[in-house]
A and B are shown apart, each in its own frame.
Chain A
Amino acid sequence: MAPDQIVFWVFAPVSVGSAVAMLFQRNAIHAALFLIVNFFTLAVFYLVLGAPFLFAVQIIVYAGAIMVLFLFVIMLLGVDREESLVERLRGQRPLAIVLGLGLAAEIFVTARASLGLARGPANFDETVNVGGNAQALSHVLFRDYFLPFEVTSILLIVAAIAAMVLAQRRERTTVEAAGEAEV
């Protein structure tokens, strides 16, 4: 068995298992911790697929920044209560599980029919990752995808401003307060 096959068969069950565990965890913090495990396994898959740069970005951005943000909000809201199991729509949960299984089966059949056992070029690291993955990726990113790259910087600024506007505590305006004083 080749090393990458061993890595796949070790980490694929961990990945699916942690995702399922996240689904059934009733405590939000435990769900977040299982999601972090899942992100780490995905980072390992990126490494196997010849994307060491995305491996690092996955750990720094997802397992680091985004999940810390999640845990911070969980702490802020104090959502440590277990959620209710009342169903507003009858049969929603069984139906959702059946549809999810159907979706997975559908993509399984599609992938099997269209991809088969194709493996892609064997010498990926020599032909595509020329001079290292980060260098090759930066050539593609800054040559072919330069405009989208600049647009994402605008997107990040907009998101940062939006978060500040949304999260500030709204003080009652003086006009409102004066109107209430009259009443």
Chain B
Amino acid sequence: MKTPISYFVVLSAVLFAIGSVGVLVRKNALVIFMSVELQLNAVNLALVAFSRLHGNLNGQVLAFFSMVVAAAEVVVGLAIIVNVYRRMHTANVDDASLLRW
């Protein structure tokens, strides 16, 4: 492989930054959740890249675990969003302001 590992790490950093900007900028709860998924994937890419750099498979196993946790997290998170939508009739995070003083 001729591509330096740092290229993949920088790409994953860019994706992570885009994801965090998405979390801060967007108002739709579903799109915010998708941005969180983008961040998780960026970290997975970094893990696989480091696995390649160090020449062992621990990073790939960790990425595998992170995928499993992401699947569980998506299930619970989407259930919460559906619940909030039923109660408030909106998926806009600004409207769910019951705890705001």
User: Does A162 lie at the interface of the complex (its beta carbon under 8 Å from any beta carbon of B)?
Assistant: yes
Residues of B within 8 A of A (CB): 1-11, 13-22, 24-28, 30-31, 33-35, 37-38, 41, 44-45, 48-49, 51-58, 60-61, 63-65, 67-76, 78-83, 85-86, 91-92, 94
Are B9 and A115 in contact, CB atoms less than 8 angstroms apart? yes
What is the number of residues of chain A that contact chain B, defined by CB distance less than 8 Å?
A: 88
In Å, the complex CA distance between A157 and B79 comes to 15
The one of B6, B8, B27, B57 in contact with A116, judged by C-beta atoms closer than 8 angstroms, is B6
List chain A positions with a Cβ less than 8 A from chain B: 1-2, 4-5, 8, 12, 15-16, 19-20, 22-23, 28, 31-32, 35, 38-39, 42, 45-46, 48-51, 53-54, 57-58, 61-62, 65-66, 69-70, 73-74, 76-77, 79, 83-84, 86, 88, 92-93, 96-97, 99-101, 103-104, 107-108, 111-112, 115-122, 124, 127-129, 136-137, 140-141, 144-145, 148-149, 152, 155-156, 158-160, 162-163, 166-167, 169
Contact between chains at B91 and A54 (CB < 8 Å): no
Residues of A contacting B64 with CB < 8 Å? 53-54, 57, 137, 141
Interface of A, helix, strand, loop or mixed by DSSP: helix
Residues on A with C-beta less than 8 A from B22 are: 22-23
